[in-house]
Amino acid sequence: MSALSQQTIDATRKNEGHLLASWQANLDASGASRDSRIKQAEFEGQTREFLRLFLASANGSDTANITGSEWADVRGFLDGLSRSRALQGFDSQTTASFIFSLKRPLFELLQAQYASDASELAAQLWAVTELLDTLGMYTVRAFQKSREEVIARQQEELLELSTPVVKLWDGVLALPMIGTLDSQRTQVVMESLLQRIVETGSEIAIIDITGVPTVDTLVAQHLLKTVTAIRLMGADAIISGVRPQIAQTIVHLGLDLQGIVTKANLADALALALKRSGLTVTKAG
Amino acid sequence: MERIPILRMGDFLLVTIQVDMHDELAITLQDDLSERISKTSARGVLIDISALDMVDSFIGRMIGTISGLSKIMDAETVLVGMQPAVAITLVELGLTLPGVITALNVERGMKLLRERVQAE
């Protein structure tokens, strides 16, 4: 186990101002702080805050292990920092360099401090390197975790966004499908459509597949399932938006869409739905 | 013993399943219903399953069988009020109940039955 000596911590504390300035200069040189997404003052506040927490935690603790309770504040700070960086759209390198650019100023400080004691200098350099590396890695991990959270949330939102059930007429629902149909999406689509059928008491549901790029056997099977479920509930389903290429694919694959009413576009499907509901559209005057 | 009531409404029989179906109950219903159809010479049967929120493959098949047997005994059968979860389960189980007429609720089911009986 290696640890920062009291002398190192005292020296760091004494030269805090100088250290902050050169750290800032380093960050400036790497371009990390000259970004319109983050304010200069905010950046300086973050470096000051980190150094304060760092010195408070570093006192006598093991530099190879930052999972202990004495590092809780530093970890919390880095979590917050990584999250905000991830949300602002910074990449992992810029985020990690926040920690790594502290190395050089610290090394220079140690060199000046232990100029006469080579072995102690080596020991302290090792301790600082180990500590900063661990903290840097922790930052990258936290950054990655926040990014993954963002991606997962976006996927979820996309799933819900892409399946709106709209009411076209009294008793006529439409579901414009956009994007590839997989099992999970079919499930979500089916559930929301069936739920809306119950809520609105609609007798006709139009599934528009204009936005579905390809129809293969699996997609056809999902469509069939949805149509069957709609029929079981006591409503009718019409599939619209069958593009010429898709019609060809369906025929070439030998898919059986028997018993399913298909229409070329949504207008035709709506016309059929209105006709079935006993409604006619006439020109006024 | 627990039984599902079969109500007579003019020419039609109304079956409302309001308890959790179990296998024995389904078989009893099947027997009772065929008995009642032959006794009353009903022209149509309306089965309301809006309170049924869970099905397994056996119950799913029984629903199909009951509809099928009433049809053979010359009574039109309409299945009404299936819950979304039940519909999804039946489809996933592969029980698509071909030939069974469905409607969204009792009112529409009745209308459908009258139309079909009149058309005959």
Interface probe with B: pick from A233, A236, A260, A276, most Cβ of B within 10 Å:
A233
Q: Residues 149 to 188 of A: which have CB under 8 A from any B CB? A: 187
B88/A198 touch (CB, cutoff 8 Å), yes or no: no
B80 has pLDDT over 90? yes
Tell me whether B80 touches chain A (CB under 8 Å).
Answer: yes
Q: Is residue B120 pLDDT above 60, yes or no? A: yes
Whether the Cβ atoms of residue A234 and residue B81 lie closer than 8 Å to each other:
yes
Looking at residue A162, its pLDDT comes to 67
Q: Residue A34: which pLDDT band, with cuts at 50, 70 and 90?
A: low
Across the interface, whether the CB atoms of A194 and B84 are under 8 A apart is answered yes
Nearest CA in chain B to A191: B84
- Asked if the model's pLDDT at residue A108 lies above 90, the reply is no
Confidence of residue A196 (pLDDT cuts 50, 70, 90): very high
Task: Quickly list DSSP for B1-63.
Answer: -----EEEETTEEEEE--S---HHHHHHHHHHHHHHHHHHT-SEEEEE-TT-----HHHHHHH
Asked whether residue B14 carries a pLDDT value surpassing 60, the answer given is: yes
Cβ distance A230 to B81 less than 8 Å, yes or no, reads no
CB-based contact, B84 to chain A, within 8 Å: yes
pLDDT (average), residues A62-86: 82
The A residues from 199 to 228 touching B (CB cutoff 8 Å) are: 201, 203, 225, 228
The helix-helix angle for A103-113 and A118-161 (nearest 10°) equals: 170
Cβ under 8 Å to B: A residues 226-255: 228-235
Cα of A102 to nearest chain B Cα, Å: 58
Q: Which residues 14-43 on chain A approach chain B with CB closer than 8 angstroms?
A: none
Does B107 contact A at CB distance below 8 Å? no
Where do the domains of chain B lie, and which CATH numbers do they carry? 6-119 (3.30.750.24)
CA distance B110 to chain A (A): 13
A201: closest chain B residue by CA: B104
Give yes or no for B26 touching A (CB within 8 A).
Answer: no
Q: SS3 for A171?
A: coil
Nearest to B96 among A198, A228, A233 (CB): A228
Q: So what's the pLDDT on residue A60?
A: 62
Mean confidence (pLDDT) of chain B: 89
CA distance A89 to A200: 42
Distance from CA of B8 to the nearest CA of A (A): 23
Check CB contact under 8 Å for A190 and B88: yes
CA-to-CA separations, B3 to A83, A95, B47, in angstroms, rounded? 61, 69, 15
Local confidence band at A33 (pLDDT 50, 70, 90 cut-offs):
low
Give the residue from chain B lying closest to A202, CA to CA. Answer: B104
C-alpha span between A209 and A218 (Å, rounded): 14
pTM to 2 decimal places: 0.65
Average pLDDT in the A120-143 region? 88
DSSP A217-273: HHHHHHHHHHHHHHHHHT-EEEEE---HHHHHHHHHHT---TT-EE-SSHHHHHHHH
Asked whether the predicted pLDDT for residue A1 surpasses 60, the reply is no
Residue-wise pLDDT for A253-274, tens only, equals 888 777 789 999 999 999 999 9
User: Chain B contact for A194, CB < 8 A?
Assistant: yes
Kindly determine whether residue A201 and residue B88, on different chains, have CB atoms separated by under 8 Å: no
Q: Is residue A20 scored above 70 in pLDDT?
A: yes
Distance of CA B92 to the CA centre of its chain: 20
Least confident of A7-11, A33-37, A253-257: A33-37
Which residue reads 């109940």 in tokens?
B97
> Is the pLDDT confidence value at B85 over 60?
yes
pLDDT band, residue B1 (cuts 50/70/90): low
B28-79: pLDDT as tens digits: 999 999 999 999 989 999 999 999 888 888 888 888 888 888 888 888 889 9
How confident is the model at residue A161, as a pLDDT? Answer: 67
Count, residues in chain A: 285
Instruction: Name the average pLDDT for chain A.
Output: 85
- Inter-chain contact B96–A197, Cβ cutoff 8 Å? no
- The predicted pLDDT at position A175 comes to 92
Question: Rounded to an integer, what distance in angstroms lies between the CA atom of residue A179 and that of residue A190?
Answer: 15
pLDDT for the residue A239: 93
